[in-house]
A and B are shown apart, each in its own frame.
Chain A
Amino acid sequence: MKKMLALIMILALMAPVFALADDMPVVKIGVYEPASGDSGAGGKQEALGVQYANVVTPTVVIGGVEYKVELVPADNGSSTDKAPSAAQKLVSENVSVALGSYGSSVSIAGSQYFADAKIPVIGLTCTNPQVTAGNSHYFRVCFLDDFQATVLANYVSKTLGANMVYCLGELGNDYDQGLIAFFTQQFEALGGSVIKEDFPTNTADFTSYLTNAAMYGADIFFCPVSIAYSTQIIQQAAAQGFEISILGGDTLDSNVVAEAAKGTNVSVVITTFYQEGANEEFDSGFKAWLNSDSEALTNNGGNDMVSAVSVMGYDGYYMALAALQAAGSPDSAAVMAALPSVAIDGVSGHIAFDEKGDAIRTSAFVKTINNETGEWIFVTEQTVE
């Protein structure tokens, strides 16, 4: 046993030696994403965007020298207790910049480790304000929870004309709870009323929560929960003949969720970063890549629909390349210094950072599910006004 283990260890240590056979210098970009746990599905889709971008643009010219870009994945397991060692793994691999994570709490949990090593991180879809607040190394390309909540509240109140919203969040999940808290603030300010309930982690039976919403006479069922829970909620709503619209945040924007609503009468409305079809070139390229790689297709939930999180991963990768070029060196501290002034025209729109390191965004896309085809369809582009 011991000998076997030693042998395996030696082989593992030699693996990088083989990988270095190329002559081109290598610059490393960390992909700090969950590949397991509650957010595993979302994290994988986000990483797909980064991987696709890496296939499209595998090299970058930094300071006149062409570098090969190597992606270093680290699974943070969707859990704050696994996040530190995943972050530390990227630090010990000397990545120049890291991308991620899906889920704000793991982003915050790994933050200090990147800060201590002076490695900048570009958040892709972590929307909690606390991710970038009070630090200079964390940036992000997506909008924030308070912005998204305002957009949602406005849309629900003004466009849908709802007065009472039933909110359901996962107990212990700061994303759900944060978005609901901001939403409640905004929606009550607009004159609406809110009822909020929580469910414990690993809940599978949502029937009683759906019944509660119906009994209270809510107009909207707001559940900004992870993909796994939202598919359950939609399917159980369908079985109950649930007539209230289900409203969600960016986490629901997944083909898995759309698939769950296919063939049912459940109406689902969400806000998100991107709508498939907005950039024809990206869509067709991404789909062709997914279909050529069976593992990527599986990670995308089995079909080739474009999820907004993949787009954010794609844009984040180019943001990182732009920063590397601006820095003129793969040194992480130089990249960090260059990042605040970097701007690109990404697939999801023009991206530039404000003084906190957050992308300046003025609108979000509102989408709904076509129940017949199981696809997302564009409704409107909603601003805070």
Chain B
Amino acid sequence: MWDTVFPYLLSGISVGGQYALIAIGYTMVYGILRLINFAHGDVFMVAGIVMVYIAASGVPLWLSIPLVLIITALVGFLIERVAYKPLRSAPRMSVMISAIGVSYTLQNLVLYVTGGLNKQYPTIPWVSETIVLGAAKTKLVTVVTPILVIILVAALVTLINKTKIGMAMRAVSKDFETSQLMGIKINSVISATFVIGSFLAGVGSLLYFTNYSTVIQTSGAMPGLKAFVAAVFGGIGSIPGAVIGAFLIGIMENIIKGLDVILFKSGVITKPLGLATFSDAFTFALLIIILVVKPTGLFGEAATDKV
């Protein structure tokens, strides 16, 4: 039984860790701006494309990785400055529409640059090596991902709890206007949020595309949506929640894909049911159920609306 389930768990943990890195970006931005940053998944995709082009131009790997992370953080910063900042006082719907517009623009730009062709992601040595874990063979990145996620989250939580900018972030997410009155430079706090979120999405893209190694303009859409679901599942606004939610989503998604086999092997069914068809649909069904049953997610704080 364990041998049957283990490969799915492994895939789930790996992809879950990558969702987690994206989900943090969603949850932090939502915590501060109350905005679903629809373009976040596309920032993740752009990070992948940038890596492809940097590697193709012959830049050595030790330089290309930090370069990709810096560029991705910069992209996040610019998106905020250009597309969200001018709409600070506009209704929430306008900002969301702007986010959708940015997502549309990024995808079309990448379509134009790549000519609509799939781009092969460069192989990053060491993490791409194949290792044997019990009954399953996999890339080293599968094991590296959860460890790296935990390290990064620990660092991020420390940053938020111990540093001045972290304190400012917490204050802004508690009360936007009051913190402004208290002298917090709101714009730099928001920029910092976007930079951190995009940076983590960049790290996520390095890991994700090492596993699933082609990049195309739509590559960010599904991981983005799944990460968002993870953030909601964990309780939007909560970083540990997003991470745990992401791992759970990743694992559940892969278990669903393998559920036929697991049931078949354990003798519950004699004929496959074709459940794998609904692996994506399941994620969304889960989202709707959570939203209806417990909109604050696993760890979210209940928000009260002021009249």
Binding site for B on A (CB under 8 A): 35-37, 40-41, 44, 171, 195-200, 202-209, 211-212, 215-216, 227-228, 231-232, 235-236, 239-241, 256, 259-260, 298-299, 301
Nearest CB of A to B177, in Å: 36
Instruction: Point out the residues of chain B lying under 8 angstroms from A235, CB to CB.
Output: 213
State how many residues of chain B have any CB contact under 8 Å with chain A.
43
Instruction: Point out the residues of chain A lying under 8 angstroms from B130, CB to CB.
Output: 239, 241
Identify which of A197, A199, A227, A299 gathers the most chain B CB atoms within 10 Å of its CB: A197
Once A209-B276, A212-B260 are accepted as A-B contacts, the answer to whether A231 and B214 lie under 8 Å apart by CB is yes
Cβ contacts A to B, 18 pairs, < 8 Å: A200-B281, A202-B222, A204-B222, A205-B15, A205-B254, A208-B8, A208-B11, A208-B258, A211-B8, A211-B136, A212-B258, A212-B260, A212-B276, A215-B265, A216-B272, A239-B211, A298-B117, A299-B117
Once A198-B276, A199-B279, A231-B118 are accepted as A-B contacts, the answer to whether A204 and B261 lie under 8 Å apart by CB is no
Measured between alpha carbons, how far is A195 from B117 in the docked complex, in Å? 31
Nearest CB of A to B107, in Å: 11
Measured between alpha carbons, how far is A44 from B139 in the docked complex, in Å? 33
Interface pair A299/B222, CB less than 8 Å apart? no
A260 (CB) vs chain B CBs: closest residue? B120
Binding site for A on B (CB under 8 A): 4, 7-8, 11, 15, 111, 115-118, 120, 128, 130, 132, 136-139, 208, 211-214, 216, 218-219, 221-223, 254, 257-258, 260-261, 264-265, 272, 274, 276-277, 279-281
Interface pair A171/B277, CB less than 8 Å apart? yes
Identify which of B116, B212, B221, B277 gathers the most chain A CB atoms within 10 Å of its CB: B116
Interface pair B280/A200, CB less than 8 Å apart? yes
Interface pair B214/A44, CB less than 8 Å apart? no
Partner of A211, one of B11, B115, B120, B218: B11
Across the A-B interface, the 8 shortest Cβ-Cβ residue pairs:
A36-B116, A208-B257, A204-B212, A241-B137, A40-B116, A200-B280, A207-B11, A215-B261
Instruction: Point out the residues of chain A lying under 8 angstroms from B274, CB to CB.
Output: 196-198
Partner of B117, one of A40, A208, A239: A40
Measured between alpha carbons, how far is A235 from B212 in the docked complex, in Å? 8
Instruction: Point out the residues of chain A lying under 8 angstroms from B137, CB to CB.
Output: 239-241
Measured between alpha carbons, how far is A37 from B138 in the docked complex, in Å? 30
Nearest CB of B to A81, in Å: 15
Instruction: Point out the residues of chain A lying under 8 angstroms from B212, CB to CB.
Output: 204-206, 232, 236
Instruction: Point out the residues of chain A lying under 8 angstroms from B120, CB to CB.
Output: 231, 259-260
Interface pair B116/A212, CB less than 8 Å apart? no
Instruction: Point out the residues of chain B lying under 8 angstroms from A208, CB to CB.
Output: 7-8, 11, 254, 257-258, 276
Instruction: Point out the residues of chain B lying under 8 angstroms from A196, CB to CB.
Output: 274
Instruction: Point out the residues of chain A lying under 8 angstroms from B138, CB to CB.
Output: 207, 239-240
Identify which of B4, B214, B281 gathers the most chain A CB atoms within 10 Å of its CB: B214
Measured between alpha carbons, how far is A239 from B130 in the docked complex, in Å? 6
Nearest CB of A to B281, in Å: 8
Nearest CB of A to B109, in Å: 13
Once A204-B219, A232-B212, A239-B130 are accepted as A-B contacts, the answer to whether A211 and B7 lie under 8 Å apart by CB is yes
Instruction: Point out the residues of chain B lying under 8 angstroms from A200, CB to CB.
Output: 277, 279-281
Instruction: Point out the residues of chain B lying under 8 angstroms from A36, CB to CB.
Output: 111, 115-116
Instruction: Point out the residues of chain B lying under 8 angstroms from A197, CB to CB.
Output: 260, 272, 274, 276-277
Measured between alpha carbons, how far is A337 from B265 in the docked complex, in Å? 59
Nearest CB of B to A258, in Å: 13
Once A205-B15, A207-B11, A239-B130 are accepted as A-B contacts, the answer to whether A216 and B116 lie under 8 Å apart by CB is no
In the complex, besides A204-B222, A206-B212, A216-B272, 16 extra interface pairs with C-beta distance below 8 angstroms are: A41-B117, A44-B115, A44-B117, A171-B277, A197-B272, A202-B218, A202-B219, A202-B222, A203-B280, A207-B11, A208-B7, A211-B8, A215-B265, A240-B136, A241-B130, A259-B120
